Structure 1
Amino acid sequence: MNKQKNMKEKKDYKENDMKYGIDERLRLEVDVLKDLYLSTFDRFLIQNTKHKNFKTGDKLGYRKGNGYLTDYQIAEHLKCNKTIAFFSKPFSTKVMILDIDTEDSAAEDTKYLINILVKYFQVESKYIYVTFSGYKGYHITLFFDNEIGMDFIKSFYEDILLVSGFNKKQVELRPLHTNACKLPLSIHNVTDEKCVFVDNITLEPILDEDYIFKIQKIDRAAFKKHIKSIKHIIVEEYKDFTDVRKATHSSTLSVEDKQYFERNYQTILDTKMLLHKSTRNNVTHLMSRYLKDVLNYSESECIDLLLEIVLNTKKHAPDLISINNIESLKKVTINTVKDTYKYNYKFSSTTRNNVYINLQEIKDILALKDFKCKVLYLCFLVQSKRYKDSDGNFFISYKQLQSMSNQKLNEKTISKYIKELVRLKYLKVVKRGGYYSINPLFSSTYKILKNNNKANRGILIEKNKFNNDSYDLQLDVIQLLVDAENEYKTLDLKEHLKISELRRVKNYIKERRIA
């Protein structure tokens, strides 16, 4: 009797599949997606990817799904006709997802987080899966063989943030009972790009159509036991850090960090001691690069010397280092050096160079309406030419900007004109520090979007100009404009400057002649 009932249900199942256009392959994909991701079917969001608002032309956003999530709706998701977002149960989930949305640095940050999971939490690489969001972000995903408690997952997530240095806006935990997450293998609403699985090392799309059937789940009980066993070590290493930095992430070392190191490295080497509180992390990174690239130390020699410095500091000035466990201190120091040699991180000096501002850059400056905005942009332009990396990114803090302007640009003014430069597509905020928070000590990462080359032609700005010791940056700007008008005969400042600004220029020329 039961056999006949099961055969009838199987027949009805196939008839429904045929009715809704679900073939055998699609049926397998629907089933595996349900098995991997879904712990509840009564709460979900749905978005019709092909439907648009007839007034605005914008695609319609997510709406709350009615009733229970059906196989047909999941099949439509896989056909890229709809996009489904799912929730966890209130107290448990089948899957843990880290949603990385740090814009242009998302790929680098994703690789960094995977490194954190493998190195610090000893999660095997084979259990770490990554999907591309379809826009700029990535989802790092761990699948479990049984539902796992949300309290445990949230605690693990907090530990990941602690070690990595990210905040909850940069890396979000999904799914939650209150926040949904998109299922993969459908279309992103804005870009029409498909959300696909990618390689967890290269982040290149995985072309194997059977990849989703090969996903391995983590043993829930063993994973919880393992994470609990190492939690006290993680907390001990990273508690009370006032300036948590990402350990293998070289771009987090600002110009100010490097300038501090260059002022003090010889004293640190001579005394075998750190000099100030909360400098251990950055000094360790920079000293390992300096020893490798400048003094040609081997990896073992570098480890020995840095261990001597940090252990000597902990012994004679314990308050300078927040890590109390000596074995943990040794471990984090050794790992830093090993990363420096493994990834060949380079030591780069912050010595200022002469830079040149060309005619097009002068015109870009003059096109800005407000004189203070001109001053600020030129400051960014010079900083970029001196310190930008291979991707065009550079650091500068509000404190530096204020110092360069002889305190004539306050924090609110700086924030106002940064937003204006972003709006006009002169500047891009790659990583926010002091952009919205107006924290004068927090360096942000920026990128000049206008033409920005290092050609040895144009108006010379000497290395002692536009630095933290400038007496009056506004005078420096006026001198630049006067020199530019003299150099480029086609340039007429009267066409670009307001009457009040021209008056400043004339007064400057008059005073320079008298002098």
Structure 2
Amino acid sequence: MKPPKNNGQQAIIKKLNELYIQTRRKYLLQLPDNYIALNRDKMANVFSLNDGLLARHLNGVNTYGIFNGNTVNKFITFDVDFADDETMARWATLKLIDVLVSEFRIFRGDIHVSLSGSKGYHVELFFDRPIAAEAAEQFYHKVLAKLPEFSERNIEFRPTWGQGVKLPLGIHQRTRRRCWFCDNETLEPIKSFDYVLTIEPMDANIILDAVIELTDEQAEEFAEIVRSTDTSITIVDTSKALQKARRILEAGRLTASGTRHITTFTLACFFNSQGFDRAEAVEAIMEVLLNTPRDYFSKGSTPAFWRKETERLVNYAFDKDLTLGNADKQITIYKSEILAVLNVGTFRQKQLAYAMLVTSKRYGRVFYLTVNTAMKMIGTTSRQTVQNGIDKLVKVGFVEYVRKGEVDHAKSKELGRVSYKPNKYRLLIDKPAKGEKSIETNGNQDLVDVAYLLCTEDEIKSVVKRYEFVNRWAR
């Protein structure tokens, strides 16, 4: 395929500048047997790396390579090279891509592969802003640690200030092969110069998270902070983390600009605490993000990227079992609240009302409670029992739906079947009176035990049916 001309070539050169070029004063020139490093600051008669030279690169006249920005990288190249063993190079490249996707949650569409021109491959990640060269190299080493069958000799880190990397789409000066981009699943060459125009940089936070936030040691440190912080919500005692989650969920959107990343992570931990499954957590978080004005996000940030990041952080929180709202934390239960619980229907429905009361204490008056979590809390395997109980609690005015049966159109389209957003509830019982009798509990105590701590036997008898008292309450 012949190189594009005129405007087509200018568009490709512009894209190469945006993605690759970090310094124009120092660059590589490939010869048939080696590379020469050209440095305008140290060598006479050396031009800066300009668009004219990039045009010669695309036209196959000369072949150029670039260095990083000395202290920063705007992309990473994993240079896969097994000398003349093309089979090993192919296998290592596919394995590397799999690790980037499965271990580091990098969207496959953000992984770009090109032929090295001999028998190897360049696997590249481009960032929406430059990151510290040290952080880029740390990320490389973390990836390589997941590939123990390979070494730094086989998969090299590029570019640095001392070691450059050849630009794609040129001609390898020894083999005379064009260095096309490749399909990252099959490694088949994509023989089109226009592929580079489709590349969009990924959020640099994904790389920085892997280096700075998401190590096992720091995950344990985060877990320790959670363990050592009072994360319960009572009438007089709230944790910052849950207050934040509560405000966001009640508002239905982000409450401050520039907080998407930390908010997504906080809510991922919150929904793990609430017993959501991963898909439910992702959809609940996406609802918050999609309801947020666009000017709260960084320029160029897209819903597709939010979903990718949400899935990554939800998976991380669930894999590490990070939670907010530890079930062992103390909450305050008042006598009037227990009497309100005892006044609803069957014993199972009273148990469900108590579960909702405890949940609201921890997570706010408006709260989520999945059917699966409710089943565990009241000790039943019947989803219908829980649904009947919820219907009863709504009917008697114990709770109300804030949202019920709302179709998630985006997820339904994705799954090819109707899918619903998680239901939200609001507790409707009166607030306790000042000075009212209360107890401190971790929420795991039996409803019967809590009732007897707050009420007399006669008071319990007065609000439950006789046969229920005999079978469930008598002592």
* Common fold: TM-score over 0.5: no
TM-score, normalising length from structure 1? Answer: 0.38
Larger radius of gyration: 2
